[in-house]
Structure 1
Amino acid sequence: MAGPIRQPINIANLERYIQNNVPEIKTPLDVKQFGYGQSNPTYLLTSTPNGSKYVMRKKPPGTLLSKTAHQVDREYRIIYALEPTNVPVPRALCLCEDDSIVGTAFYIMSFLPGRIYEDPALPGVSAEDRRAMWKSAVETLGKFHSVKPADVGMQGFGRASNFYNRQLKTFATISAAQAKAVDVESGVPVGNVPHYLEMTKFFGQEATQPKDRSTFVHGDYKIDNMVFHPTEPYVIGILDWEMATIGHPLSDVTNLLMPFTTASSPKARSVGRANPAFVAGATPGLPTKDECTAWYEAVVAWKVLETDMTWADAFGIFRGSVIMQGIAARFALRQASSEKAGDYAAQMKPFGEMGWDFIQELMRKMEGGEKARL
């Protein structure tokens, strides 16, 4: 999955830094860049003397759209804090905040040899393994949410309440900056997410929000941010911790289960945001959304209310539209690190339309009294 370097770095500087600060890594290095990673450029470092592999994550080059994004120091801190727990993470080796080394701040972690699947339907595995791998992904999330931040010295990693309103406030700042980004070639600005104001007004009604809970949250917990064992059906590592904080656990649950949610939505199917493999009965071994929820509940020992899940599903779609707007903005500025950034950027507007359609359906349920808390 690693190939030519698309965003050059000063390898000689990096090698000197490693020689002085990370003696475990033997230089010289062979450096390649991974194709994935929408936000922070990610590199594979291979020690030429012994073949050992490591991964470096760095902030993107240039003027950044938001001070709250690309915080590689937060990624390093949470991975380092989780190492002694039963949550599978890479080993954190170093954090460098000196921009003079490779242009921006970076950290290095261990490389996990295993399987990464872009398709959450997990193609190419047996039905039995597919079910076991999804169960492992769900239970791993439950283990993560069960770690108390204070127990690993991370009580100050985020605020412990009012998560969804804080998210809305953050999105307001980030989305405004992203909308103003102008394509360096065409001169056309990215623009607003469709129905952004209407959606933020809807979600800002505190009386409809899920019961407030506070745990660690990953921020982008999904199948393609996990490494599975090379041959066995379980998770050996969680990747991409850029958006980790303390917040509401349902934000991670709904993000993981989004393929099930969108597969049941006609609007999602019409805009190409539904994976047909997740239509009920389409893929042998694939669990149902209800089964995944039950596995999660068994680990965290609290009940997920249907009304709370429905609201959080809608918020997850809204959040996804802002994330895609961010990819579109980075693509416009040619700061996007993924080879597929252009494809994702094109999905911003249809995804926003899908979010608004989903909210309208929820409002119809509200008016019809189908969901007491919605």
Structure 2
Amino acid sequence: MAGKVRHPIDTAALERYITENVPEIKLPLDIKQFGFGQSNPTYQLTSTVDGSRYVLRKKPAGALLSQAAHKVEREYRVIRALGQHNEQLAPPRRRHRVPVPRALCLCEDSAVLGTPFYVMTFVGGRIFEDPAMPDARGAAERTLLWKAAVEALAALHSVDPAAVGLESFGGGGGKKNNAQGGGGSRASFYERQLATWTQICEAQAQTRDAETGAAVGPIPHMAELLAFFGDASRRPRDRAALIHGDYKIDNLIFTAAADGQDPAVAAILDWEMSTIGHPLSDLANLMYPFFSAELSSSSASSTSASPSSSAPSVSISNPAFLASSRAALGIPEPATLLSWYVAAATSASSSGRGAPAKL
């Protein structure tokens, strides 16, 4: 919900900019700030003339820990491209549209609000912060909500980046990967991800504790993780699809509950990590709650079986995703999610939108 503005913006400067660049927004505006979207301050703009609502996302003020994050320009570019693509779809292909808000403007002039920002339309609906969706209307709807999330993801991965002007998006242009052939010098998705996360982790490690002044140090086990993923022999063959980069339940807006209608994804939010990369990275991110629950359950069982005063206590990350809990709650099995994904990707491909997102 939007409420008190915690990071003030210059309303007069914003309204001057809107007058010149987005005349469809009727002024003056009532401005509130959302509680979520905190990596990039996010505001609700409401026209006091006609009640229309919009959303403004801006880069945070001050020094940024990483230049790889907070890329509102990237968000605008992909949302705008997908929105234009959706408008060009003719029935019956519209059922494969990628649900995004309508992008209205991008301002890269920091003199206006202090940092770059963009404005898009407001999309109403339901946001589930907990992937177990405790507020769903029962097990049957919970199943349908997860299916809708998977189908929206498959629709995204079935978009041809070149067809929407995003062939070089996120550094993914140039050489085509082994799955597509071609030549050039583009770094693989894995290499780009490793470089990004290495830079972010090094910057975080050098951050100083506000109270002690000491460096917070490296994230535990991060070096081992980077070494594991740095081993090219462990990687699936690289692929080039348009990916979200942080696809999970709480980055989706679902349609409002309605009798007689299956739920759908009304909008996908938070595109700052989007790029061209391996589509299964998005699917793995969406399915993370399933595997983290099982892993933490195994750790908890091991700790219980071998009690020790020095052993840390382990809690299950989300018990709803344990195999013993899923059926009663309507949470699909991972194999079911995979089958839905393949079916949706194949359907989108057969409608003429590009290559299916193969497993």
Determine if the TM-score, normalized by the shorter chain, exceeds 0.5: yes
Partner-residue secondary structure (3-state), 1:246: strand
Change (3 A) 1:24 1:273: farther
For the residue of structure 2 that corresponds to 1:100, the secondary structure is: helix
Which whole-Å deviations, capped at 9, do the CAs of 1:170-220 have from their partners, x for residues lacking one? 111111112111233442333211122222111111111112211001010
Judging changes above 3 Å, is the alpha-carbon distance between structure 1 residues 9 and 249 closer, same or farther for their aligned structure 2 residues? same
Instruction: Kindly indicate whether the alpha-carbon contact (under 8 Å) linking 2:41 and 2:58 is maintained by their aligned counterparts in 1.
Output: yes
Q: Which runs of 5 or more structure 2 residues have no equivalent in the other structure?
A: 87-96, 178-187, 301-312, 347-355
CA distance in 2, matches of 1:267, 1:197: 24
Deviates more, 1:238-247 or 1:203-212: 203-212
Given that 2:255 and 2:266 are in contact with CA atoms closer than 8 Å, whether structure 1 keeps it comes out as: yes
Contact 2:3 2:33 in 1 (8 A): yes
- In the TM superposition, residue 116 of structure 1 has moved relative to its aligned partner by 0.6
Aligned twin of 1:259: 289
Task: List alignment gaps of at least 5 residues for structure 1.
Answer: 306-374
Contact in 1 for aligned 2:100/2:267 (Cα 8 Å): yes
- Report the Cα distance in structure 1 between the residues aligned to 2:192 and 2:79, rounded to whole angstroms: 23
Any conservation in 2 of the 1:34–1:43 contact (CA below 8 Å)?
yes
Contact kept in structure 1, 2:33 and 2:44, CA below 8 Å: yes
C-alpha distance in 1 between matches for 2:4 and 2:357: 47
Does the CA-based 8 Å contact 2:279-2:357 persist in structure 1? no
Superposition pairs of residues 195-214 of structure 1, within 5 angstroms? 195-214=221-240
Q: 1:277 maps to what in 2? A: 320
Letter in 1 for 2:17: Y
Given the alignment of the two structures, is residue 179 of structure 1 paired with residue 215 of structure 2, yes or no?
Answer: no
Residue 93 of structure 1: SS of its match in structure 2?
strand
Q: Deviations over 1:91-114 (max 9, x none)?
A: 000000111111100000000011
Note if contact 1:262-1:268 (Cα within 8 Å) is conserved in structure 2: no
Q: Following the alignment from structure 1 to structure 2, what is the Cα–Cα distance between the partners of residues 207 and 276?
A: 34
1:110 is matched with which residue: 112, 121, 138? 121
For residues 196 and 316 of structure 2, what CA distance do their matches in structure 1 show? 25
Distance 2:116 2:110 in 1: 5
> How many Å separate the matches in 1 of 2:271 and 2:6?
22
Q: Given the alignment, which residue of 111, 135, 149 partners 1:100?
A: 111
> Could you list the per-position Cα deviations for residues 243-280 of structure 1 after superposition, in whole angstroms to 9, with x for gaps in the alignment?
10000111100100111111111367665461111112
Secondary structure of 2:329's partner? coil
Q: Does 1:191 align with 2:217?
A: yes
Q: Secondary structure at the match of 2:112?
A: coil
Tell whether the 8 Å contact from 2:320 to 2:329 is kept in structure 1 after alignment: no
Helix, strand or coil for the counterpart of 2:64? coil
Structure having the higher Rg: 2
Change (3 A) 1:304 1:145: closer
Counterpart secondary structure, 2:272: coil
Other structure's SS at 1:252 match: helix
For residue 165 of structure 1, report the CA deviation from its aligned partner. 2.2
Matching residue's letter, 2:275: T
Alignment map for 1:333-372 (pairs within 5 Å): none
Cα displacement string for residues 116-164 of structure 1 (whole angstroms, at most 9, x for unaligned residues): 1101111122211111110010011001000010111111113254212
8 Å contact kept, 1:268–1:274: no
Partner of 1:42: 42
**1:75 positional shift:** 0.3
Read off the aligned partner of 2:318 and give its amino acid letter.
N
1:299 deviates by 2.3
Q: What is the aligned partner in structure 2 of residue 5 from structure 1?
A: 5
Structure 1 residue identity aligned to 2:44: L
Residue 148 of structure 1 is matched in structure 2 by 160
Give the counterpart letter for 2:67 in structure 1.
K
Moved more, 137-146 or 179-188: 179-188
After superposition, the Cα gap between the structure-2 partners of 1:214 and 1:20, relative to the gap in structure 1 and judged at 3 Å, is same
Residue 329 of structure 1 corresponds to none
Deviation at 1:67, TM superposition (A): 2.0
C-alpha spacing 1:215/1:273, structure 2 compared with 1 (3 Å)? farther
Indicate which of 332, 338, 341 corresponds to 1:296. 341
Deviation at 1:281, TM superposition (A): 4.1
**Aligned pair in 2 of structure 1 residues 214, 273: CA closer, same or farther (>3 Å)?**
farther
Matched with 2:149 is 137
Gap change, CA 1:184 and 1:146, over 3 Å in 2? same
**Residues 168 and 268 of structure 1: is their aligned pair in 2 closer, same or farther, counting only changes over 3 Å?**
farther
* Aligned position for 2:276: 246
- Secondary structure of the structure 2 residue equivalent to 1:36: coil
Match of 1:223 in 2: 249
State the percentage of identical aligned residues: 55
Write the letter of the residue equivalent to 2:40: N
